[in-house]
Structure 1
């Protein structure tokens, strides 16, 4: 206390204008610097906290969407397999059906087991012959699968626990996907069931967490529609111990209302936790099981960057405020010093205590003008007053003129910037539309021949570099000329559009490219696809076109529009050329037509 009083006495603010001005400016700058730092720090903290919450919500939404899309693929594939003639016909040999099931499991390794039963629940064919002859008529997947395609929620394995490979050391858990198998008369002949490893959910979760490996204590849990933990911390994907139920969490209840956001709530240990949530909603024909995804992180860890940023901003604000205040103190003193000299001299002249001349400071700034003005004031006060008023008027006129000129210049620049921005945006939109039109077929809306040539050349080089197989499907509409002659060209164009959509809809990878090759010919480029995979997709396309039930009165094959397909597969090398693959597929397509159409011919 005595030290503070000592320094206040030394400053002597009451007797020194210079010190009062410096102290006032320094104090004002320091106060506003600290206030500004605190405000900016608080805003930054809130923004970072909001961003982290948005990140958690987006992660939950992405995982929920990935679960739905993957389940849709398995759900659709089981239905597609159940609709094949080889499965529906009771005259086809069992060995042929088992071969299709084995191919299905090879193509989708997440299936632990796929089996076909008869209408009584006896397993007729299955992958690797497991459970052949077993009676599964009491199993929920068979009971539900007799009437409609369905998905059974996660459950422990019973019959298959000791028969199929287990990807972990924990008891096996499965998800069942089934579909009824009916013959051409609509009579139920069996049920096709597939059992998925629940392990695939772990892969989706780990892929989502990979980009966040630097974030501490970020955890993801998948809950059932009743709140039981299906996958999460402290529980492996195949753990069948008594499940933890989290239905009491606010995040779980909000997710069941269809919301996708993030909240702060107490977790199991009552520690405040930032939780993002989302519920699976199904995808296309897959209805979904109502799983809830929770992505959470303790606020103690989630908001560390926000607290650190606010702390640093406040410290820097105080430091810069002190520095600015000290600098302002010094500058104020230097600026006021000439004025104090003038004031001291003027006071001496007024009181007659000195005859020293008024100091005249050189230069054209305000201090120099003040010294000259005060010097002349004592000689002719009226004349000095007139001159000073004229000077002020001239200065204001110059400022006004300069301000008007700057405003006009700024307005012109803003107009020029706006026009240039609009022109650049229009040019960019035109270029994008032109690029799209050069790669899309104008009639069908899928890729055109030019896109086909570019993409095939690109994937050929990639396959040569990575030593991967490359497959090509060419398909041609059977008796299309007769179709055009009978129904007219407008109907023919509509037919081509529907076929193009049919070959684009079946589940396929993002790298597969359906193309209108020319006229009534279409093609599908299949990178990294072997012969069996290409044949499987070709059969799916043939069935998809036939399922359109487009009438064709002039077809010699049947009452509907059909297609013939040529499937060519090769291992590209530097000595070969993509044209060889096209010629091979075209020759196989010709053979398919020679053999009676509505069929697939593939190279050996």
Structure 2
């Protein structure tokens, strides 16, 4: 029923015609091998210098690209983590039950227990007074003047890294050090849009250190590797101890390089191959403007090429012929599996479905490369699936599993924004639901809402969208497709009323509720979909005035009553 779970904004992979690359003839390989042998024998010294310098440049470029890639990976990981945390708080803030401090307290305690990166999480009322807090920290405190409350009252807020003096000594952190946090907060709103408080969390900055450790563990062979994370104003957040809290020692570096690398002489007089990447945010999260810098001493980078140059000069003449023969055989053994890996990677990059990195033979390093690439692709696929699930959760009503108000409003806007097509809008409001809550408690009310949600989902067509807007209010949009009859709204409304009227069993007691339905059509009733939805809402209240447990169709004669 609900489109939740379907990939949004994703398209099927395109098909591309295969491009055939002519195979090199064996005669050409032999010609190249003989030519290389003759040239090496005649110009060993010159060749050693040229090849050594060329290898140094190529290796510097490779390491520079590696530094840039490492910086980009960390920047993406930081943005992805912050996006997930912001969406978690935003999704939780929309749960109606969390507006009750008692319910919020139990939820906050559970979140704190499950997520060690949360240093503190709490809820404030509209005046900025903390009414629920993890471990009771700051409970009853007035934080109305702090950005986490002020900005959270306006909308979703993500604050940059800062020190939290109020929590010093109250949360686990490095001994004697003022803890640093990243703030995330979101408004708690009633169904009418009134903001009644803020759900706020302080995430420990320790998770950023953990992200760096995870990223550089596989790079232990990169001697002298150093990483810096800079805030939007250029201050070093993470890096060598002597640099933290200060500007980057090479202040013009990040301004000159967007995402790229260069060889730079740093203030210590050492030349480093340095890669720079800027955080770009993720999806609807704009990011905090962080910059990641990765560097490695150039002498370490060039040490291997210096040894190569010496070896070529000293033994090139004697081994030229042998290397040419070995190269002739080895080229095919190495190029074929690498070509297969590169071909698969290019096809995956073009979006072709069903392509996997091949399990190639040959050298052990090439086998390791193919295994590592396959594992990396699987990991990225799993992460994408997890991100898709988080997106689904943000659009799902947790109680009924129907789409929520946010999804419903975005669906209506997307479906009618082009001006074409037509649709029927139905507003459904339960009758007699409040006495159920008052008499039997909220558990009974939740049971009724869950069963009513399931019944509504089973009544509508596959391409209809029915959502829970909040409380005991539901809504549905029934698009009318060309080539098939429009829905019989009178018959459909009767089926809905009959289904809702069926009793719900709770703790051995049969609970009954009814429903009133308001119906309006777009574009017949108005060309503006927002106006049509107001018409449906007006028709709903007419149904309630006429005796409840019935449906009413909006007609133009009711305009005065609607106003």
Q: Report the alpha carbon displacement of residue 184 of structure 1 after superposing the two structures with TM.
A: 0.9
Deviation per residue, 1:426-469 (Å, 9 max, x gap): xx99xx96899xxxxxxxxxxxxxxxxxxxxxxxxxxxxxxxxx
- Partner of residue 86 from structure 1, selected from 97, 102, 127: 97
Partner secondary structure for residue 302 of structure 1: helix
Query: Structure 1, residues 146-174: CA drift from partner, whole Å, max 9, x if none?
Result: 11211111111121112222256532111
Whether the 8 Å contact between 2:71 and 2:276 is mirrored in structure 1 is yes
- Give the CA deviation at 1:538: 8.4
Deviations 1:517-543 (A, max 9, x none): xxxxxxx9xxxxxxxxxxxx9828936
Question: What residue in structure 2 maps to residue 245 of structure 1?
Answer: 247
Query: Aligned residue for 1:310?
Result: 309
Query: Following the alignment from structure 1 to structure 2, what is the Cα–Cα distance between the partners of residues 203 and 502?
Result: 23
The structural deviation recorded for 1:34 is 3.0
Pair 1:78–1:593, CA change in 2 (3 A): farther
CA contact (8 A) 1:46 1:306 kept: no
Match of 1:200 in 2: 207
Please state how far the C-alpha of 1:119 moved relative to its aligned partner: 0.8
Q: Given the alignment of the two structures, is residue 218 of structure 1 paired with residue 220 of structure 2, yes or no?
A: no
Per-residue deviation, residues 310-346 of structure 1 (Å, max 9, x unmatched): 332232324447999xxxxxxxxxxxxxxxxxxxxxx
Tell me whether 1:153 sits opposite 2:152 in the alignment: no
Superposed, 1:119-198 pairs within 5 Å as 119-166=126-173, 170-198=177-205
Contact 1:149-1:179 at 8 Å conserved across structures: yes
The normalised TM-score by structure 2 is: 0.54
Moved more, 78-87 or 36-45: 36-45
What does residue 107 of structure 2 align with?
Answer: 100
Aligned to 1:48: 59
Conserved in 2, the CA contact under 8 Å of 1:142 and 1:193? yes
Q: CA–CA distance in 2 between the matches of 1:277 and 1:168?
A: 32
8 A contact 1:41–1:314 mirrored in 2: no
Determine if contact 2:105/2:134 at 8 Å carries over to the other structure.
yes
2:83 alignment counterpart: 72
| Residues 283, 29 of structure 1: alpha-carbon distance in 2 compared, 3 angstrom cutoff | closer
Distance 2:322 2:153 in 1: 81
Q: Between 195-204 and 27-36, report the one with greater CA deviation.
A: 27-36
CA 1:216/1:505 → structure 2, altered by over 3 Å: closer, same or farther? closer
Question: 2 CA distance for matches of 1:218 and 1:433?
Answer: 37
Mapped to 2, the partners of 1:115 and 1:542 lie a distance apart of 26
Structure 1 unpaired stretches of 5+: 1-25, 325-420, 437-500, 509-513, 515-523, 525-536, 564-591, 598-604
Question: In the aligned structure 2, how far is the partner of 1:539 from the partner of 1:152?
Answer: 28
* Maintained 8 Å contact 1:251/1:275: no
TM-score (norm: length of structure 1): 0.50
Find the residue that maps to 1:283 and give its secondary structure: coil
* Contact 1:34-1:321 at 8 Å conserved across structures: no
Query: Counterparts of 1:296 and 1:504 in 2: how far apart (Å)?
Result: 31
CA distance in 1, matches of 2:208, 2:81: 10
Q: State the alpha-carbon separation in 2 of the partners of residues 70 and 296 from structure 1.
A: 23
The CA deviation at 1:546 is 5.6
Distance in 1 (CA, whole Å) between partners of 2:354 and 2:87 is 36
Question: Shift in Å at residue 191 of structure 1?
Answer: 1.2
Over 3 Å counting, the alpha-carbon distance change for 1:158 and 1:298 in structure 2 is same
Cα shift at 1:197? 0.4
Deviation at 1:53, TM superposition (A): 0.6
**Cα distance in 2 for residues equivalent to 1:113 and 1:67:** 20
Residue in structure 1 matching 2:390, options 485, 507, 521: 507
* Structure with greater proportional helix content: 1
Q: Tell me the equivalent position of 1:548.
A: 407
Counterpart contact for 1:542–1:562, Cα < 8 Å = no
Q: Secondary structure at the match of 2:280?
A: coil
Between the aligned partners of 2:239 and 2:426, the Cα distance in structure 1 is 55
The C-alpha deviation readout for 1:228-266, integer Å capped at 9, x for no partner, is 110101259xx7xxx2112753332135xxx21111112
| Residue from 37, 49, 72 that aligns with 1:61 | 72
State how far apart, in whole Å, the 2-side matches of 1:174 and 1:136 are: 16
Superposed, which structure 2 residues align to 1:244-393 within 5 Å?
A: 244-246=246-248, 248-255=250-257, 259-320=258-319
Using CA pairs below 8 Å that are at least 6 residues apart, which structure has the higher relative contact order?
Answer: 2
Aligned mate of 1:112, from 91, 114, 119: 119
Larger radius of gyration: 1
Matched, 1:38 2:49: yes
How has the CA–CA distance of structure 1 residues 37 and 270 changed in structure 2, closer, same or farther, with 3 Å as cutoff? closer
Q: Deviations over 1:277-312 (max 9, x none)?
A: 101111112111111111011112222222222332
Q: Distance in 1 between matches of 2:43 and 2:282?
A: 55
CA change 1:503–1:265 in 2 (3 A) is closer
The C-alpha deviation readout for 1:100-155, integer Å capped at 9, x for no partner, is 11222233221100111011110011112211100001112212111121111111
**Conserved in 1, the CA contact under 8 Å of 2:59 and 2:301?**
no
Aligned residues of 1:167 and 1:199 also touching (Cα < 8 A): no
| Match of residue 237, structure 2, among 207, 226, 230 | 230
CA RMSD of aligned residues (A): 4.0
Paired residues, what number?
Answer: 341
Shift of 1:196: 0.7
Q: Contact 2:159–2:184 at 8 Å: present in 1 too?
A: yes
Q: Distance in 2 between matches of 1:235 and 1:107?
A: 34
Instruction: Name stretches of at least 5 consecutive residues in structure 2 with no aligned partner.
Output: 1-36, 324-339, 357-383, 412-424, 431-451, 457-464, 469-502, 513-563
Moved more, 149-158 or 59-68: 149-158
